[in-house]
Amino acid sequence: MLSCKPSNHSSSSPFNKFPKSFSTIFPSATSAFTTYASISASLMLLRSIFNDLIPYPLRKHIFSAISSLFCFFSGKQTIIIDQFDGIEPNHVFNATELYLSTKVNPNTKRLKVSKRIKDKGLSFKLDKGQRITDSFNGVELKWRHVCYGVEIKGNVTEKRYFILRFKKNNGDLVMNSYLPFVLKSAEMIENEMRVLKIHTLGNVRYGFKFKWESIKLEHPSTFETLALDPELKTMIIDDINRFIRRKEFYKKVGRSWKRGYLLYGPPGTGKSSLVAAMANYLKFDIYDLQLENIKSDSDLRRLLLDIGNRSILVIEDIDCTVNLPDRGHRRNGQDKQ
């Protein structure tokens, strides 16, 4: 007879090597969540203690050192461009903000938009925390706009700066070529977007001195519309262009970068229109000065010092205001020479 006995094969099956319940190896979902919550609470507590015990300037240096350490091992170099250099505005920051406004694209998550009255289109700027990638001579450059609040004596002050990151081996290209290119590009953009103004003396003295007051210059005169002899017009434009190109030459020889023109003629012959055409061509502001309103040399000196760069100073009716000596007469009353 055949007898059937229970086989011991099941006891030696490899599946029996696993425990009957996975709970002995893997924690339950509740246990995992509890552990995660405990770790998160501990990290939050440590962060709070860290912020309370360590002042912000020291924290900034610590984070900067850690960031520099990571950049050292990652082969990246970082340049920080602060909004202010001490108490003065940082021109590089303003130029960077203006330059990057022309590099925004639809992929940027957050943008700031604005439009001035005379602007033809909308102006876009990076919002805080946003990133943008630029390219220069085949080199990739990554920008980031950082903005945060700092409490100083109970007042919250906004701090802003740009972070520029690139490969270390491109450092010379960035510092000697790319950043000067950004400054030059921003200057060109600013000239195109600039709203021209005409400055005149106010009727009221502020304290013990006069003060310039300005309004927008909306004179339509240009060299294209100016009724002037073509040869004379070409000569004036060439002279202006030569003057603009020779700014560094004036600095090299130790001379002030300025150019003077004498316009004379009866009223209505186009003197003011020519000045407006020059201002629109150069994108320079106009300062209109009438010497009959000036009572002392000190007032004149202060007004001249308040005139901004890249401006046109117009002194009207100078021949009627200044009493020039008649050099044709001798001091002893003799006849003309």
In a domain, 40, yes or no: no
In a domain, 186, yes or no: yes
- Give the 3-state secondary structure of residue 83: coil
pLDDT (0 to 100) of residue 336: 41
In a domain, 204, yes or no: yes
Secondary structure (DSSP) of 196-242 = -EEEEE-SS-BTTB--EEEEE------TTT----HHHHHHHHHHHHH
Question: Quick one: 234 and 303 in the same domain?
Answer: yes
pLDDT of 73 higher than 80 = no
The alpha carbon torsion through 267, 273, 275, 281 (nearest 10 deg) reads -170
d(CA 315, CA 1): 135
- Give the 3-state secondary structure of residue 87: coil
261, 271 contact by CB (below 8 A): no
Residue 10: which pLDDT band, with cuts at 50, 70 and 90? Answer: very low
- What percentage of the chain exceeds 90 in pLDDT? 31
Instruction: List, for residues 255-280, the tens digit of each pLDDT value.
Output: 988 999 999 888 888 999 999 999 99
CATH number of the domain enclosing 267: 3.40.50
Question: Quick one: 163 and 234 in the same domain?
Answer: no
Residue 118: which pLDDT band, with cuts at 50, 70 and 90? Answer: low
Q: Which residue has the higher pLDDT, 67 or 100?
A: 100
Question: Quick one: 117 and 221 in the same domain?
Answer: no
CA-nearest of 98, 265, 267, 110 to 186 is: 98
Highest mean pLDDT among 22-26, 127-131, 177-181, 202-206: 177-181
Round the CA-based radius of gyration of the chain to a whole number and report it. Answer: 36
pLDDT (0 to 100) of residue 36: 72
Instruction: List, for residues 133-156, the tens digit of each pLDDT value.
Output: 999 999 999 999 988 777 666 676
Question: Quick one: 180 and 248 in the same domain?
Answer: no
Residue 4: which pLDDT band, with cuts at 50, 70 and 90? Answer: very low
d(CA 197, CA 312): 11
In a domain, 294, yes or no: yes
| Single residue among 158, 193, 228 that ends a domain in this structure | 193
pLDDT (0 to 100) of residue 284: 92
In a domain, 109, yes or no: yes
pLDDT of 158 higher than 90 = no
Question: Quick one: 171 and 227 in the same domain?
Answer: no
| Single residue among 193, 221, 239 that ends a domain in this structure | 193
Q: Which residue has the higher pLDDT, 15 or 56?
A: 56
Question: Quick one: 214 and 317 in the same domain?
Answer: yes
d(CA 153, CA 160): 19
- What percentage of the chain exceeds 70 in pLDDT? 74
Encoding tokens for residue 146?
Answer: 């950082």
Question: Quick one: 216 and 170 in the same domain?
Answer: no
Total tally of structural domains belonging to the chain = 2
pLDDT of 212 higher than 90 = no
